[in-house]
Amino acid sequence: MSTTWDCIVVGGGAAGLSAGLVLGRARRRTLLVDAGRQSNQPAHGIGGLLGHDGRPPGELYEAGRQEIAAYPSVELRTGEVVAGERAGDVFELELSDGRRERTRRVLLAAGMEYRPPALPGLAQLWGRSVFHCPFCHGWEVRDQPLAVLANGKRAVQSSVLLRAWSDDVVLLTAGPAELDGQARSQLAAVGVTVDERPIAELASSNGELEAIVFADGTRLTRSGLLVATTLHQRSQLAQQLGVGFGEPTPTTPSPIAIDALCRTTVPGVFAAGDNATAQMPQVASAIATGSLAATSIVQSLLAEDAGLPIPT
């Protein structure tokens, strides 16, 4: 533990790698710790990322690691940061292998964990024909019979949104629909029907969704299913460091609160990517906030060492 890093980046997904690249080019001593659990790994490809549309996520991350390897001030390490605390003027982080590392800045970029319902047959389809983001996956199931699994306000939003990709959309509430008259009118106006029957399982063929199987044994043929799931913090490190959380949203119960420069409520701790409040949960947004966070970190270090003024 003789080295004191300029920054430890927690997470090697789109945000963490983007930050690591910028920090490397700025010649900052950086440790990037990656547990390899990026939430979009099951996806067939990254939809809508300029220059990489449809590219498998694993390929993008490997390319990012190779780019960062060209910068000697950055070390990439496989593992997980399991604990952290402030130690005087720096932070001390504990890794899963027992090593402890000291750093002047911390960037939280471990991403979020999606928790779709525990529905039989869903897990093996997740990230492909069963998905949470139509902007990422809607093109691949365009003009096919689709469904939305949701209830309440999110059901209306998700169903109307998905109609942009198909004229055949059914809302599945898997029980009594929590929809008022206005909501039902909105759905009817765009041709979305509502099915309240409990769901038993998802049937698939060749790794793709084939049908919704209801508890009464009947089936509804569908080629794609949008699930209105929620995102949860993957790591407890933010809580351990005393970082504040923002207002809950329908999709994210506990987003890390950050300002316009990706600074959290704890001086010296930054956050980027899906786990923070400043972006949509998309790869493009994660890359952008990772880059922004890194430039903010470099400026904060120069402010401390050389009096560089930075935006407040």
DSSP one-letter string for 36-98: S--TTTTSS-BTT-TT-TTB-HHHHHHHHHHHHTT-TTEEEEES-EEEEEEETTEEEEEETTS
Is 311 part of any domain?
no
Residue 114, pLDDT > 80, answer yes
Q: Is 276 helix (H, G, I), strand (E, B) or coil?
A: strand
Last residue in a domain, options 196, 227, 258: 227
Q: Is 136 helix (H, G, I), strand (E, B) or coil?
A: helix
Based on the structure, what is the number of domains in the chain? Answer: 2
Domain encompassing residue 271: 4-114+230-306
User: pLDDT per residue over 206-233, tens digit each?
Assistant: 999 999 999 999 999 999 999 998 889 9
Mean of pLDDT over the chain: 94
Last residue in a domain, options 227, 261, 285: 227
- Record the pTM: 0.94
Asked if residue 137 and residue 58 are part of one domain, the reply reads: no
Asked if residue 221 and residue 245 are part of one domain, the reply reads: no
Local confidence band at 44 (pLDDT 50, 70, 90 cut-offs)? confident
Last residue in a domain, options 227, 255, 290: 227
| CATH number of the domain that residue 145 is part of | 3.50.50.60
Asked if residue 173 and residue 162 are part of one domain, the reply reads: yes
Is 312 part of any domain?
no
Asked if residue 234 and residue 110 are part of one domain, the reply reads: yes
Residue 290, pLDDT > 90, answer yes
Asked if residue 170 and residue 198 are part of one domain, the reply reads: yes
Residue 248 is predicted with a pLDDT of 85
